[in-house]
Homo-oligomer: A and B are copies of this chain.
Amino acid sequence: MSGDIGSTGPSAPSPPLSSHDRTRHRRLRDQGRTDRAALDDVLAAGFVCHLGVVVDGHPMVVPTVYGTDGTWLYLHGSVASRSLLAAPDAPVCVTVTHVDGLVLARSVFEHGVNYRSAVVYGRPRLVTDPEEKLTGLRLLTEQSAPGQWGYARRPSRKELAATALLALSLEEASVKVRTGPPDDGDGPDAELPVWAGTLPLVTTFGALVPDPGLRPGLTPPPHLADRGGTRVG
């Protein structure tokens, strides 16, 4: 099989760095995507990533929101603890994953998950330029809630100063995608009386929930009102 995040087999996902394990990467070449458009697609489809840092030799993985301009990935520095802020040029790994469904094979061994995943490696820099900080925060805000940067109150000088923003280059990145039916449709297991296929996973925005303390008479702007029912990922 081609390997995926649910596989019980030996061909489960290769390390995202192609230089890391050449043999395995060859075997999984159908999952590895190197083109830039694939990276942009995976990043555009989400707004939450998992940021990995090393603290005292131990890995730490925290979820956080991100924004991007295609060159830089912007992240909140504070999310990854003071240790990252103290050494913003330490190596990090940022992973964005969209789970698209379950792969239900005839055998347990071939079960898996359809997914799209992007991994970015690098050493982020602390954004200090006020202009870039505003740009980064705008990208970060618009990634999850497009329209809000022009609608909500923008950060004050004090708020800006209190915000630690990191910029990570998108230069070193890889994308892996698994789509389609299970891989045991053409082997001996295809004769088993076992239903096989996929069970898609769909993420959508629900209906807006107004703040209980909302000023009377305020209605949601179109960029929020139109979002209910739209798909995410």
Contacts and interface: CB of A to CB of B under 8 A. Distances in A.
A164 to B, nearest CB: 7
Contacts of A87: none
A8 interface: yes
Given A93-B61, A119-B62, A195 B218 contact: yes
Nearest to A112: B65
A154 interface: yes
Point out which of A60, A94, A206, A227 has the most chain B C-beta atoms below 10 A from its C-beta.
A60
B195 A209 contact: no
Interface in A104-130: 104-109, 111, 113, 115, 117, 119, 121
Interface string A195-213: 1111111111111111111
A113 B48 contact: yes
Given A104-B145, A153-B106, A155-B108, A140 B8 contact: yes
Contact of A76 (B7, B79, B208): B7
B21 A82 contact: yes
B63 A117 contact: yes
A54 interface: yes
A5 B117 contact: no
Contacts of A194: 151-153, 218
A131 interface: no
Interface string A66-87: 0000000000101111100000
B159 A109 contact: yes
A43 to B, nearest CB: 15
A31 interface: no
Given A81-B20, A95-B63, A220-B195, A206 B48 contact: no
A144 interface: yes
A169 B210 CA distance: 41
3 cross-chain pairs, A with B, having the tightest CB-CB distances, nearest first = A185-B213, A52-B59, A52-B61
